[in-house]
Structure 1
Amino acid sequence: MKKLLLVLLILLMPVLYVYWFYFNIYSDGEREGVMMKISRKGNVFKTFEGEIMQPGFRTGGGSINSNNFKFTAIDDVVSKKLSDATGKTVKVHYVQYRKTLPWRGDNYDADNAEPGQYIVDRVLEVSAASAPAQTQLPPMVLPTPAPAAAQ
């Protein structure tokens, strides 16, 4: 009986590991920003990889970078909506897994703020991109030349 329990435990550990890191959803949420690009990539498994530019900046590695959200779109319908929304502001729903499976797309651990694989499964909202805020500078005041000295 002890041997059977030990064998079951040894077999159960890899199953739990695979489930925890590859199939259990770590987080889900919404992201909003300007849809920059979406493309179909992959040598064996073709997936739709996209990028949304969010407001603000992200620091890291001694530099300041734009705050881009890189993801994989889950299916043709979602990728078509995102493709049609290129250049517009989009709000998407995503799920995040701890590790990557090849048929679920690329892993952007180095590019996103948190490591993991982000899968966009729904497009919640599409609107025209807002114009960047323009800063109004005060008028430039030039010094007036001094009057010429009389000779």
Structure 2
Amino acid sequence: MKKFVKIGLAVLIVFLAGFIYWNYFFVFSEGIKGGSLNYFEKKGIVFKTYEGRLVQDGFQSPQAGALQSNEFRFSAIGDEVAQQLERASGKFVELRYKEYLGKLPWRGASKYVVYEVVEIDNAAPKRNNEIPATTN
């Protein structure tokens, strides 16, 4: 009987370790997103993490006939990334991120974790309805 309990306990530990790894440490996807940095802040009660929101061009809608802004909410890791993003509010930025299946409190409030700033465009954002000035 002790042998079955030991085997069952070992199987349970291996299953639990695999489940924790799959949900919290397995990188589901990686990519780059670009858009205007809406805000970037450091917040939290116990774990202070960097959180931000990127507003991308265009619209996406989960329902037919409805319009919704295409936002990318993310957490950021690393002091260098945080310093770059703190100075880039309102600018067009490209961010490299990893997507995890679950969130960890010390990693941030989002399952998307930005670990590198690819580019910050210092030029003023272009608007579609602006008409270029002409000279006569």
Query: TM-score, normalised on structure 1?
Result: 0.77
Matched, 1:24 2:26: yes
Matched, 1:69 2:103: no
C-alpha displacement at 1:65, in angstroms?
1.1
Which string of whole-angstrom CA distances, capped at 9 and with x for unpartnered residues, describes residues 18-57 of structure 1?
0000011111100001111101110100001001110111
Stretches of structure 2 lacking an aligned partner (at least 5 in a row): 132-136
Aligned to 1:133: 128
C-alpha displacement at 1:79, in angstroms?
1.2
Aligned to 1:48: 50
The 4+ residue runs of structure 1 with deviation greater than 3 A are: none
**Considering only aligned residues, what root-mean-square deviation do their CA atoms show, in Å?**
1.8
Matched, 1:14 2:16: yes
| CA contact 1:49–1:73 (8 Å) conserved in 2 | yes
Aligned to 1:58: 60
Aligned to 1:38: 40
* Larger Rg belongs to: 1
| CA contact 1:33–1:90 (8 Å) conserved in 2 | yes
CA–CA distance in structure 2, aligned partners of residues 5 and 59 of structure 1: 50
| C-alpha spacing 1:129/1:16, structure 2 compared with 1 (3 Å) | farther
CA–CA distance in structure 2, aligned partners of residues 130 and 9 of structure 1: 56
| C-alpha spacing 1:103/1:59, structure 2 compared with 1 (3 Å) | same
Which string of whole-angstrom CA distances, capped at 9 and with x for unpartnered residues, describes residues 82-138 of structure 1?
11111111111000000011111113xxxxxxxxx00000000111243111177xx
Stretches of structure 1 lacking an aligned partner (at least 5 in a row): 108-116, 137-151
